[in-house]
Amino acid sequence: MRVVPPALLPILRSGVQGKVLATVYLAPEREFSVSKLAQYADASLRATAQEVERLVTAGLLADRRSGNQRLVRRPAPNRIITPLTELLTATYGPLPVLTEELADVAGVKQAFIYGSWAARDAGSSGGPPDDVDVMVIGTPTLDDLDDVAERATSRLNRAVNIRRLESDYWADPPDTDTFVATIKRQPLTAIPLANKE
């Protein structure tokens, strides 16, 4: 079966590959289990394990065994790893960065990326997104979300715009709120909120 190249970075083999690489490369001090990478990539364990195997074989990921788990990390920077990290930050970066930045924010029930980045992640063609639009569902403080947006903007080198809605409003918005209705009809990329390993 032919794999369609991802719209976010068509030079990669698949979207799973892009999400795995971005997750690992944008957290160079961490190791990830294959199951955690599958969760972050919203992919099956089998598909993720296959991508990890290809990337380790190519020298783009380093790995080690810990019991029955395979742990992967970013290799030491070199002439390929450094520019690839920059490219992954510009394309797949929003998902792992926002996953990390929202992990410890109290009151977040759900979070999504919407707009042009989510459209590219879903396979829509078009140019690189200039900003990242995020919808947070729950009751975090606006100050906390402003801090997240500021840190994510700095890390991604592009504007990150965060809106907050309470859970009840998101679940059942008034008919007059065309903004929420429009967002719900467009592609949404869920931001994993599970605690870090």
Domain interval for residue 127 = 97-190
Mean pLDDT of 170-197: 87
What's the residue count for the chain? 197
Residue at 78 is within a domain: yes
What is the per-residue pLDDT for 11? 73
108 pLDDT more than 90: yes
Furthest C-alpha separation in the chain = 55
Same domain, 80 and 127: no
Residue 24, domain CATH: 1.10.10.10
Same domain, 38 and 76: yes
Q: Are 63 and 54 in contact (CB under 8 A)?
A: no
196 pLDDT more than 50: no
4 pLDDT more than 70: no
Rounded CA separation 119/125 (Å):
8
Rounded CA separation 148/168 (Å):
23
Top pLDDT among 87 and 8 is at 87
Domain count, the chain: 2
78 pLDDT more than 90: no
Residue at 10 is within a domain: no
- Predicted confidence band at 12 (pLDDT cuts at 50, 70, 90)? confident
Mean pLDDT of 64-86: 92
What is the per-residue pLDDT for 25? 94
Same domain, 22 and 75: yes
Alpha helices, DSSP H, located in the chain:
15-25, 34-41, 45-57, 81-91, 94-102, 116-121, 142-156, 167-171, 178-185
Same domain, 183 and 133: yes
Same domain, 77 and 108: no
Summarize pLDDT for 139-178 with one digit per residue, the tens. Answer: 999 999 999 999 999 999 999 999 999 999 999 999 999 9
- Predicted confidence band at 125 (pLDDT cuts at 50, 70, 90)? confident
What is the per-residue pLDDT for 14? 86
72 pLDDT more than 50: yes
At 189, give phi and psi (nearest 5°).
Answer: -110, 115
Residue at 7 is within a domain: no
Give me the helix-helix angle, 34-41 and 15-25, nearest 10°. Answer: 120
What is the per-residue pLDDT for 95? 94
At 111, give phi and psi (nearest 5°).
Answer: -150, 140
Instruction: Look over the chain and give the mean of its residue pLDDT values, rounded to a whole number.
Output: 91
